[in-house]
Amino acid sequence: MKHDRYDHPAGIEKCPVRIFTGTSWQAAVANVVREVHLEIHLNGQKMITIACAGIHTEELAVGWLRGEGIIHTAREIEAIEVGREGMSIHVNTRPGLAAGQPISQGSGKDGGQIISSSGARSAASVIKRSDSEIRLSGAQPMESVMGAGEGQNEEGMKPLAIGTETISPARIFTLMEELVTAASIHNLSRGTHGAALADSSDIFVTREDIGRHNCLDMLSGYTFLHDIDGADKVLLRTGRVSSEIVHKIWRMGIPVVLSLSVPTALAISLAGQAGITLVGAIRAPSLTVYTHTKRIRES
């Protein structure tokens, strides 16, 4: 059966299904999150293909390039063009900036390896798909980036300033509840990760996707393109926090990360070094603060 691609929110498709209720079967129509393959090109060169929901693709492309350290300021971008029915984004930089090497250059029919929607993509030398390792040509070994897993600074990145601003547990619970409520695609399909940015007032931007990395790259692209300083912001996530996630947040300059899920040991180590306060396992009335507890008020 063909899926209906119309009359529903972006990122959602209607799919006919049969549901077993415990005693009988019934026909129904399910809201299913989209999956498309987005090509990202830089200065005419294909860099990567990312599995995503096909929304906020310009932010995703720019955020991915930023997260990989290929571009550093919005002034470097000369133009962003959407091509091939929205399934490719072409970023052109101003003369004098050398394009980075493709993170992937496989021999597939699409001319490049498709990166898993939820898999880590940041500087890893291999990824796993279907229990088999696929080596990424041009990818830098993780040991050369973080010092054999010890979380050493990349490119001389400095720890974020601790500052004086703090946030209370009550405020954390409120923000996380607002994120869950705002995740409209997830509330329809139960098939996305979510992330958001908040300032001292409230959440001001929310992004969802089938990939936890994609959500973060979208937010990174959003702040990049809108010249938003991350120093006084809070980042909220629904998914697990890995070292690659922390590294992207470090590049964004955001000092506080709140997650419904939990971090990995390497993520905790890197967040400690980066000066990032990492809060996880947030389920009111409890939460866990893993690093830099001074930013979290006692009450």
Architecture of the domain made up of 169-295: 3-Layer(aba) Sandwich (3.40)
User: Which of 71-75, 135-139, 258-262 reaches the highest mean pLDDT?
Assistant: 258-262
Position 145 pLDDT exceeds 70: no
- What is d(CA 41, CA 80) in angstroms, rounded to the nearest whole number? 10
* Angstrom distance (rounded) from CA 18 to CA 29: 8
- Tens digit of each residue's pLDDT (9 = 90 or more) over 85-137: 889 999 999 987 555 545 444 434 444 455 555 444 543 333 333 333 323 33
| Distance in angstroms between the alpha carbons of the first and the last residue of the chain | 54
Determine whether 161 is exposed, middle or buried from the number of CB atoms within 10 Å of its CB (0-12, 13-18, 19+). Answer: exposed
Fold adopted by 37-146? Ubiquitin-like (UB roll) (3.10.20)
pLDDT digits (tens, 9 = 90+) for 187-216: 889 889 999 999 988 999 999 999 999 999
**What are the sequence ranges of the domains in the chain?**
1-33, 37-146, 169-295
Q: How many other C-beta atoms are found inside a 10 Å radius of the C-beta of residue 1?
A: 6
